[in-house]
Amino acid sequence: MLIDTIRGTLAVPIHRAGWPFIAAFAVVALLLFTQSALLGALGLLATGWCVYFFRDPDRLTPVGEGLIVSAADGIVTAVAPALPPPGLGLPEAPLVRVSVFLSVFDVHVNRLPVDGTVTAVVYRPGRFLNAALDKASEDNERNAVRIDTDDGAAVAVVQIAGLIARRISCWVGEGQRRRCGERFGLIRFGSRVDVYLPEGATPLVAPGQRCIGGETVIADRLSRDPPRRAERR
């Protein structure tokens, strides 16, 4: 079963940032086999998980004026007003924040939520609380990116380290023109990604819903429908 899992995962591209970790896990697994078959099997299982963690599948991004897509795979933990991070040049007033929690089994490559120009990138060191907690947005290590759309709207996306996450990678810089759904970063290993919607954007997801980064539409800036509600059934 493990071999089938690894074979199936390898059919999906693995991000290059993961290969050093995969190699390290594989070396440890081989060393464990010299001590015990059981320990070696556990090491092989951990190596398979590492391969799975760094998978980087292509995504089909919806194209349409006003659409904002999820920046990450995971579960929506909150859709609520919150002050945006300082340093991005955004108004000091609450904006609707869509928070997505990534477990260690989710794809951790992050995607840009809109087309536009990157106008600010702000990194802030911090703690490593459980990323599912609301205060993680303020206390944890994080990296915030502001994207300005062609029609003047500003969207912020924030990568937040989690309980066992110890590294945030961001691959965009100020002044770069980027497209919605493009890869812009990665977080190792469990984490959270917040998207701050521009004023007037209608959120189209609800807490508990699963999102796919680069594919799930989380808001529409042109919609006049009320915010979505959801029921567990």
**Neighbour tally for 13: CB within 10 Å:** 12
Sole residue written with tokens 């911090």: 126
Q: Which residue is catalytic, options 70, 99, 191, 223? A: 191
Is the Cβ–Cβ distance between 159 and 185 less than 8 Å?
Answer: yes
Q: How many residues does the chain have?
A: 233
CA angle 132, 100, 179 (to 5 degrees): 150
Answer yes or no: 191 catalytic. yes
Type of residue numbered 226: P
CA 166 → CA 44, 45, 87, 127, distances in Å? Answer: 23, 22, 22, 10
Catalytic machinery residues: 191
